[in-house]
A and B are shown apart, each in its own frame.
Chain A
Amino acid sequence: MIYDEPKFLPGGDRFIEMELGDELNFDLNFLVHSLSAKIREAEIAGLIELLPNMASIVISYDPDLISFADLKSEILSHYRNMGSLEDMELLSPIYYIPVLYCDHVTRACWEDYCAKITEKEYDSDILVKLNDLDGYAQLARIHSGTEYWVAALGFYPGLASLIALDPRCRLTAPKYNPPRTWTAKGTIGYGGSVTCVYPANTPGGYQMIGHTPVPVCDIEQSLPAFKQDLALLRPGDRVRFFPVGREEYDYIESRVTAGDYVHNVAHYAKFSIRAYHEWLGTLDMKERF
């Protein structure tokens, strides 16, 4: 639920966790990011950084410049002045990311895990069974059949938590137990009801359903998309995956290696909450891609 009164919880001497609600709810997440944008705009003296997530914002502050109580009341007044959620709109770029589903890279990673850590069923088989799908083709069709909302960033630089905007495309997946010691950069992961692109070679716990040759984070900033920022995605952005075959995958990989790959992004659409709610109302929830 979305709380009537948000909670302001202390995190040591220079952090506040502001909890707006306690569920995975798109509206709630939209509220989190709209409020974060408002707070940023307000340039409150003493506020250092904001960390918006699914249903909460962690705020770091300098207690020499603003007290916990004053910061709380300033944020609360911005929250109260937000207006109606239905009227909110946000300019939201969409990134198109190519994916080779059931690919060789993540298969090798899964085989390595089975050999070295513990036997487990192939990740895509787990998703197919658990979500009652026809097979790998339908898994790819459903995963690539919706736009995703960047609900949060964090845990690792450039790692974005993506949630499906089309509720018919929301899958569920258990996490690896124990977690993997490594995951290939570019792995498309699914855990709980969240999907992600691994920004680097890191440990991981999400099921691996595909792989993209396109980087979402680039410490060296070698590709044009990373000229200004190391990470591609921001909360409130959207992502759409599109399935490619091995040949196209190899081609894109070669362009990335050569440093002239152009990320595919369209940045001109405003996401409207009212229109989104209306659209949800038109969907036949029994239908599946």
Chain B
Amino acid sequence: MKFDQPKYLPGGDHFILVQFGDDASIDLNFMALGLTAALKEDATKGVVDTNPSYNSLIVEYESDDISYADLKIELARLISGLGSVEDLELESRLAYLPAMYLDPWTRDCVADYSEKIAPRDYDPDFVAEVNGFEDAKQLARIHSGTEHWVVAVCSTPGLPLMRALDPRCAITSPKYNPPRTWTTLGAIGVGGLSSSIYTTPGPGGYNLIGRTPVPLWDPQQRLPVFKDRVVLLDAADRVKFVPIGEEEFEYIEARVADGSYEFNITAYQRFSVGAYKKWVASLNQDGRF
């Protein structure tokens, strides 16, 4: 539910949590990201960093420069300046990321889990069944059929938490229980309402449905796209997965390895929440990709 007034909650001596509501409604995230952009634009004195999430935003501040009480006033001013959620327009890059769905590597990862931890079906079959899709191929079609909204970049470096923008492509699934102890690097997972891409080979709980050969962060800043940044995506960016076959996967993998891979990202669009809502309302909900 969206709160009538955002809640301001202290986080120790130099954080403040601004909460817009208490559920996973994407509007709350639009507000959180609208405030993030407004803070950047405003260059509010004392504000050090921001960390948005589904329905809230953590603002880190320097208490020598601004008091908790003054920051609250500043934040309230910026929030009222945002207007209604329909008025929001956000800078939003669109990254086209290659994805091999139903790939052999995540298949091995699931098989390994099945053998060593707890027996389970192949994840794409399971997710397809839970969502009433025809088969795993339709799962791939639906997952690649929408742009995914980057709600936040969190948990591990560069890991995007994403939501399908086309409601007809919303996929829900229970997470692993118990979680995996390792996950293929670059694995594309779905869990709850979200999608993500594993940026480290660590543990994980999302169902694995495919894999991308491209890195989402690069501490060595080796590839050209990382010239000025370590992490590929920001909150409010969008991702569109481009299904590829094994041959193309290997080609891209080789170009990543030799440092010549050119990312495919466009940065000339603004995301209009009002237009988005109109578009969602215009969709025939029975139509399926």
Contact surface of A with B, Cβ cutoff 8 Å: 89, 91-92, 96, 137, 141, 144-145, 147, 165-166, 224, 240, 242-245, 248, 251, 260, 262, 264, 266-272, 275-276, 278-279, 282, 284, 287-289
Contacts and interface: CB of A to CB of B under 8 A. Distances in A.
Nearest to A140: B248
B217 to A, nearest CB: 19
Given A224-B284, A262-B287, A289-B262, A268 B243 contact: no
Nearest to A267: B279
Given A268-B165, A275-B268, A275-B270, 8 more contacts: A137-B248, A165-B268, A224-B284, A224-B287, A266-B279, A272-B269, A275-B91, A289-B264
Contacts of B271: 268-270
Contact of B92 (A91, A243, A269): A269
Contacts of A92: 269
B176 interface: no
Given A262-B287, A271-B269, A275-B269, A145 B264 contact: yes
B248 to A, nearest CB: 7
Contact of A270 (B137, B165, B269, B282): B269
Nearest to A168: B262
A279 B272 contact: no
B272 A269 contact: yes
A244 B145 CA distance: 13
Contact of B242 (A242, A248, A262): A242
B266 interface: yes
Contacts of B237: none
Contacts of B141: 248
A96 B89 CA distance: 23
A91 B271 CA distance: 9
Interface string B167-184: 010000000000000000
B120 interface: no
